[in-house]
Amino acid sequence: MQNHPEHTPADAPKTTSSSGDGAAADATARNDALERQILADPGRFRVLTGDRPTGLLHLGHYFGTLQNRVRLQEIGVESFVLVADYQVLTDRDVAENLPESVEGLVLDYLAVGIDPARTTIFTHSTVAALNQLLLPFLSLVSVAELGRNPTVKDEIAHSRQSAVSGLMFTYPVHQAADILFCKANLVPVGQDQLPHLEVTRTIARRFNSRYAPGSALFPEPEALLSAAPLLLGTDGGKMSKSRGNAVALADDADQTARLIRGAKTDSTRHITYEPATRPEVSSLVLLAAMCTGRDPRAVAEEIGAGGAGMLKRTVTEAVNEHLAPIRARRAAYARERGFVRTILREGNERANAVAEATLDEVRRAMKTAY
Ligand code: TRP
């Protein structure tokens, strides 16, 4: 079994025990149960999440994950937020404008309400002991398993590199180190990250059974899927700053108005909320609804015969109003010279202390504590 970790029957992911709608219903039920446990006992959980510093965060990030991170922080779940400044090199040879991207990402975090006094914000390149976990972790997965990861396969297919780097191939294992160095047991993620979380769970389980039987040195972290419905970009495609179809938190009110004015709608004048048949119009309605905390059907009904023009004015106003305090906070932090650096220095110090303690335990478990 040791030589064929991929054949361990107990490793079959529980998420694939049924298929189709059944699996989706299972996932929702598990998520609901998890939410109840978190609310009942937030102190039992430790969250780790993070982003690659590739550019400014947009409304999709905001409603999809940032709000959820702030919510967990507010109910008292200890949280770590990671700037994945090594992982950014998976599909490109050099990370351009890295210092600006890292600073922008941290400003976005601070602007939405991630509080560095309660949440550790750190860059994983700075945490040597975290990175050292990669070596024992790599020994616990097979090359075949790495090659089967659907998210990595997809990224390789869309990579802008001519050859697949070793980092691309192994980054889910690095991500396991990101999560396990602080023994996080809760990881709020999107669907695309689920295969990575499965890798993390597998590594935790295998490490424990090989080196720390009976002691559960590492937790098997749970994914927490966002309940927020998916927003489309203004062109109707996947929202992404590089496609020019996303409102960034850092954009100003005029940039926002311009982008939404150019948004794709359809030829039916009367505005309704029908995501399946009118995806573009419905996504705009949804955006206005999310910004104002209203039901999208009510928003659509109110606009009705006002058509696409009124829809776009409503959305622009709702977005700009909702983001105004966030943008004001972002600008204020950006004016404080050296502030982001101080936040990162303190966060990195804390992350390093936690990582050193975990690595010590790992060394003892592996009998390499000399
Ligand atoms: N892969 C994540 C992304 O592309 C970023 C990330 C790196 C991450 N390490 C992580 C997310 C650990 C959750 C947990 O957005």
Q: Within the chain, what is the greatest distance between any pair of CA atoms? A: 75
pLDDT band at 138 (very low <50, low <70, confident <90, very high): very high
Can you list the pairs that 303-309 forms with residues at least 24 positions away whose Cβ atoms lie under 8 Å?
A: 303/271, 304/270, 304/271, 305/269, 305/270, 305/271, 306/271, 307/269, 307/270, 307/271, 308/265, 308/269, 308/271, 308/281
Substitution site in 72, 193, 199, 225 for ligand 1 pocket (most atoms within 8 Å of beta carbon): 193
Mean pLDDT of 261-289: 97
Region of 107 please: left (phi>0), alpha (psi -120 to 50) or beta: alpha
Q: Give the pLDDT of residue 14.
A: 42
Asked if 332 and 107 count as a contact pair (C-beta separation under 8 A), the reply is no
Q: Whose CA is nearest to atom 9 of ligand 1?
A: 175
pTM of the model: 0.91
Mean pLDDT of 361-369: 98
Give the domains, in start order, of the chain with CATH numbers: 18-230+337-365 (3.40.50.620), 253-334 (1.10.240.10)
Mean pLDDT of the chain: 92
Mind listing the pLDDT tens digit for each residue in 221-247? 999 988 888 899 999 999 998 899 999
For the chain, state the CA radius of gyration.
Answer: 22
Question: Ligand 1 center to residue 88 CA distance, Å?
Answer: 10
pLDDT band at 335 (very low <50, low <70, confident <90, very high): very high
The answer on pLDDT for 22 being more than 50 is yes
Residues facing 189 on adjacent strands? 225
Residue matched to tokens 């622009």: 316
The answer on pLDDT for 8 being more than 70 is no
Q: Give the pLDDT of residue 5.
A: 36
Question: Ligand 1 center to residue 285 CA distance, Å?
Answer: 30
pLDDT band at 146 (very low <50, low <70, confident <90, very high): very high
Question: Ligand 1 center to residue 52 CA distance, Å?
Answer: 7
Q: Which atom of ligand 1 is nearest to the CA of 189?
A: 13
The answer on pLDDT for 40 being more than 80 is yes
Q: Give the pLDDT of residue 20.
A: 57
Pocket of ligand 1 (CB under 6 A): 48-52, 82, 84, 87, 175, 178-179, 187, 189, 193
Q: Which atom of ligand 1 is nearest to the CA of 190?
A: 15
Q: Whose CA is nearest to atom 3 of ligand 1?
A: 51
Q: Which atom of ligand 1 is nearest to the CA of 193?
A: 1
The answer on pLDDT for 24 being more than 90 is no
Question: Ligand 1 center to residue 302 CA distance, Å?
Answer: 39
The answer on pLDDT for 18 being more than 90 is no
Rounded Cα distance between 90 and 159, Å, is 8
